[in-house]
């Protein structure tokens, strides 16, 4: 598991390589940040304040809201934000809900 030794930091190239392997990439920046700074290709935006609720949604509801299959607790997921603080919080939230 990538987070066994604590939250990993990925380089841009490592993220690109992971995306080829069907890793779900969740960008936890606010929507205005996406509008202002741009969307990362093939990522879904779930602002940090919505993440706990989103990860506990019914899979059908998740798909309707985010246009993406809801990750299972064992699916590989990468979180990103602007500086790394919110993505570390997101990882903690996900792990507290049983995501590995």
Spans of all domains in the chain? 12-97
Distance CA(77)–CA(99), nearest Å, equals 9
- Among the residue ranges 40-44, 48-52, 91-95, the one predicted with the least confidence is 40-44
| Residues in CB range of 22: below 8 A, 6 or more apart | 76
For residue 32, the Cα-to-chain-centroid distance in whole angstroms is: 17
Which is catalytic among the residues 48, 70, 78, 81?
Answer: 81
Fold of 12-97: Oxidized Rhodanese; domain 1 (3.40.250)
Q: Is 81 a catalytic residue?
A: yes
Distance CA 32, CA 66 (A): 17
Strands of 54-99 (E only): list them.
77-80
Left if phi > 0, otherwise alpha if psi is -120 to 50, otherwise beta: which for 86? Answer: alpha
Cα 50 from Cα 90, distance rounded (Å): 10
pLDDT, one tens digit per residue, over 58-84 is 999 999 999 999 999 999 899 999 888
Distance CA 5, CA 38 (A): 31
Considering 14-23, 34-43, 46-55, 71-80, the range whose residues carry the highest mean pLDDT is 46-55
């Amino acid at each position: 598991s990538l987070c066994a030794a604590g939250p990993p930091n990925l380089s841009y190239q490592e993220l690109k390589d992971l995306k080829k392997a069907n890793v779900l990439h969740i960008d936890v920046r606010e929507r205005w940040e996406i509008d202002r700074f741009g969307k990362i290709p093939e990522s879904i935006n779930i602002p940090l304040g919505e993440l706990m609720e989103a990860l506990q949604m019914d899979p059908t509801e998740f798909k309707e809201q985010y246009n993406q299959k809801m990750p299972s607790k064992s699916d590989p997921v990468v979180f990103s934000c602007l500086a790394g603080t919110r993505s570390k919080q997101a990882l903690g939230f996900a792990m507290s809900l049983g995501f590995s």
